[in-house]
């Protein structure tokens, strides 16, 4: 009984974003590269970018499709992007993404890695 309740609690916390703070244990980085492809289709999991950098290609995890659409974030292949985020395994969980040529920047997570789209659901902090 207790094990079931604990599993349910952990599931609820992860769905609320409270059990996921990539900055807690992972290195923060900033990279610049060319967007090779954009994986942003509905139903395909978390939208992401394939970013070509000096030493290969990095996958950049973005965030909620709804949040990206609300902020008119529509990156295009071939654009130069600057990504600040958290290195998690071989991917980067984006804190912010800037596309200088389009004068476009989106903040996705706070300095602790908490998703901003989930924070607004419970009352925005003026961001």
pLDDT tens, 91-104? 999 999 999 999 99
Kindly state the tokens that stand for 3: 């094990």
pLDDT at residue 19, rounded to an integer = 41
**pLDDT at position 27:** 79
Predicted confidence at residue 8, as pLDDT, reads 47
Classify residue 37 by burial, with Cβ atoms within 10 Å: 0-12, 13-18, 19+: middle
The predicted pLDDT at position 124 comes to 54
- pLDDT of 112 reads 87
Q: In the CATH hierarchy, which top-level class contains the domain 22-122?
A: mainly beta
For position 35, what pLDDT does the model report? 97
Q: What is the DSSP string of 36-86?
A: EEEE--TTSSS-EEEEEETTEEEEEE---HHHHHHTT----TT-EEEEEEE
Beta pairing partners, 39: 48
What is the reported pLDDT for 9? 44
pLDDT reported for residue 25: 60
Residues of the chain with pLDDT under 50: 6-19, 122, 125-127
Q: What is the pLDDT of residue 66?
A: 87
Q: Distance between CA 72 and CA 77 in Å, rounded?
A: 16
- Contact (CB, 8 A) for 57 and 101: no
């Amino acid at each position: 009984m207790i094990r079931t309740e604990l599993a349910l609690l952990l599931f609820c916390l992860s769905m609320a974003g409270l059990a996921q703070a990539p900055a807690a244990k992972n290195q923060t980085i900033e990279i610049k590269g060319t967007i090779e492809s954009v994986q942003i289709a509905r139903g395909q999991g978390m939208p992401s970018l394939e970013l070509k950098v000096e030493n290969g290609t990095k996958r950049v995890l973005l965030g909620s499709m709804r949040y990206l659409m609300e902020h008119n974030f529509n990156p295009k292949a071939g654009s130069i992007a600057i990504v600040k985020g958290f290195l998690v395994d071989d991917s980067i969980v984006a804190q912010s993404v800037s596309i200088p040529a389009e004068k476009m920047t989106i903040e996705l997570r706070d300095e602790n890695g908490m998703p901003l789209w989930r924070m607004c659901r419970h009352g925005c902090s003026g961001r």
